[in-house]
Homo-oligomer: A and B are copies of this chain.
Amino acid sequence: MEDFTFYNPTTIDFGKDKEKCIGKHLADHGVKKMLLTYGSDRIKRNRLFDTVVKSLAEHGIEYVEFGGIVSNPLLSKVREGITKARSSKVDAVLSVGGGSVLDSSKAIAAGVKYDGDVWDLFLRTAEIKAALPVFAILTLAATGSEMNPSGVVTNEATNEKFWIASPHTFPVVSIVNPALMRSVTRDYLVYSATDIIAHCIDAYFTASVQPRFLSRLTESIINTVIETTEALLANPGDDSARGEFAWASTQALNGLTFSGSSGFSYPNHMIEHALSALFNVPHGAGLSVVIPAWMKWYHSRNTAQFERFAKYVFDVTTAEEGIVALENWFNKIGTPTRLHQLGIKEADLPATIDLVLINAKQFGIADIYTRDAVTDIFRNAQ
């Protein structure tokens, strides 16, 4: 058991119709005018936008719209949002969408309070000393962004997919209504499942100190994701399963699963960030290709933990059997497990590996993830 500090002040307001409470939450926190960020116009077609605007009006809160944020969100859009937030003199940001909208909103919120270019905050050449308060209505459960301070953005000029995190960028309130997630497509459901599992297993397998309590918590999350993904594939209207899926997703990356462990890293995310930055593949689809390949490369470094995973997640015995079981499960739910399924060819690999090596530096694991190592991992995914 290692030393840690746990702090997570986000309020999660979870359940049916909770989006109707957003005006009250904002008013309770003294917000008068905010930037309403979102992705596509789907939130207008499905009436969520109307519901939000009505709730704001009931509490006399003004808003300025900022739509068009895309998956694997872009730095240029964050810069645009900062300009708009400043010129509109908003005092908060409300994200209505999934992880990409929320991550961009955190970056906008921090960028508004920083005099230089926001990318400095991603490069760690400047520190986040303040941010506008961020509120969220979640429409996709996957990234855990609703209860953590992180935001991942891609710099399209350099293809770097980096992140910020600060005590100032926790959402103040995140509304999680499973019914709002019914519109998530089958593909994005399985990609989300993969993303959640990835958030769990990176630390679970790589930590040099990993208390069994944290392993148990992590297995609880993974087993819940597996069970509820299957329930939702069978019946997309199962809001109870969707709720458990969403809450497990939140727990996977709110700090709990690694408070007490140490020496861990995020190799699967590190590698995948190169795939989604270069080929704009869905993050979860990239992860389901990377994870089994990485596990096959890594497992002999921590055999006991891979055997534990095999036993408590898939009820099989050896490390190898556990890896095959996870890969089979990915195939069963229909998320890709090979590079060619992402449209990535042999000829693309050198440039991809170059970017992985850059990412490895930001993730602090360049010593382990050398060109040879990354080449071997990608070979397992061919």
Contacts and interface: CB of A to CB of B under 8 A. Distances in A.
A1 B247 contact: yes
A218 to B, nearest CB: 9
Given A212-B224, A216-B220, 9 more contacts: A1-B244, A4-B12, A5-B13, A211-B240, A211-B244, A211-B247, A213-B247, A217-B220, A251-B256
B247 A259 contact: yes
A248 B220 CA distance: 14
Contacts of A18: 3
A13 B259 CA distance: 10
A202 interface: no
A223 B211 CA distance: 13
B220 A1 contact: no
Contact of A14 (B6, B216, B220): B6
A227 interface: yes
Most central of A212, A216, A256 by chain B CB within 10 Å: A216
Interface of A: 1-9, 11-16, 18, 178, 211-213, 216-217, 219-221, 223-224, 227, 239-241, 243-244, 247-248, 251, 256, 259-260
Nearest to A11: B7
A10 to B, nearest CB: 8
Nearest to A260: B247
A260 B14 contact: yes
13 contacts: A3-B14, A3-B15, A3-B18, A4-B14, A5-B13, A6-B11, A6-B12, A7-B11, A14-B260, A211-B244, A216-B223, A244-B260, A251-B256
A63 to B, nearest CB: 24
Contacts of A7: 11-12
A73 to B, nearest CB: 26
Nearest to A14: B4
Contacts of A2: 15
Nearest to A15: B3
A9 B167 CA distance: 12
Given A213-B224, A224-B216, A240 B12 contact: no
A3 to B, nearest CB: 3
Contacts of A221: 213
A7 to B, nearest CB: 4
B248 A1 contact: no
A241 B7 CA distance: 22
Nearest to A223: B216
Most central of A8, A16, A18, A223 by chain B CB within 10 Å: A8
A361 B16 CA distance: 30
Contacts of A260: 14, 243-244, 247
A243 B1 contact: yes
A8 to B, nearest CB: 7
A311 to B, nearest CB: 13
A322 to B, nearest CB: 18
A227 B248 contact: no
Contacts of A244: 1, 211-213, 260
